[in-house]
Structure 1
Amino acid sequence: MKQFSPTIWATIGWISLGLSAWSFVLATVDGVMAYFVVVIAIIIGGFSSIGVTASARFAVSTVVLGTVLIFWMTHHVASTGFQLPDGNSMATMSSSISIPILVSVAMMIWGIHRRKTFPRPSSE
């Protein structure tokens, strides 16, 4: 079976990072749109790490950026500014982002397993 080139996996990873950046822009307009875009970005980031010739760096970056954005969206109010985290706000944040992060981390682990199990194809 022919594997995808690392360039294709990197392109998918850059798309996920681009969507994460776009979600920061959308967060200034509408938080709901930003949330859906960041969830899609996290899942695409995880997908970019499942190939034998892929890397998990884009998935990790997307998860970190997505978590920062969701933290900001759940702890910042336009009228009063940044609110200190408490138990309820942290529970809201973790409940809204836990499933996409779980899916992304599962794909990263699957990709790591595939890269350890199957040798990288030679460039001959």
Structure 2
Amino acid sequence: MPRHNFSAKVKRQAHERSGGHCEAVGEVYGLPPGQRCNAALAGKRVEIDHYPIPATDEGSDVLENAVACCTKCHGHKTATYDVPMQAKGKRVATRHLGISQPGTLPGARIKYSRARGVWVDRATGQIVEAPQQ
């Protein structure tokens, strides 16, 4: 997926708007609901985050979607929100194409368990006979 980066102008505007303090707000940044970080950004690395629209979406590169963050808040969001959401998107897209995980049969309830060396019914966890392919 293409990434829509902020222009230098938008980055400057977001930094000016922040008043030199982290704009991260709420749980997505590892804070209590509704709480703003407000960490001083002067003399520190300022990261401009895409939120609430992800960087991969069209129109995400505008000032209204730019959050001037400290590295701690941006790192938390990246690790606990962005990366898992991107992984889920890839899984959904892969499933939509009909591509299955190794050791599974598309649409089947059974899966091959490498650890146990047997086929297992996903719903019950019971060992079943190898499927006819």
TM-score (norm 2): 0.30
TM-score (norm 1): 0.32
Larger Rg: 2
* Greater RCO (CA < 8 Å, at least 6 residues apart): 1
Q: Return the structure number with greater helix share.
A: 1
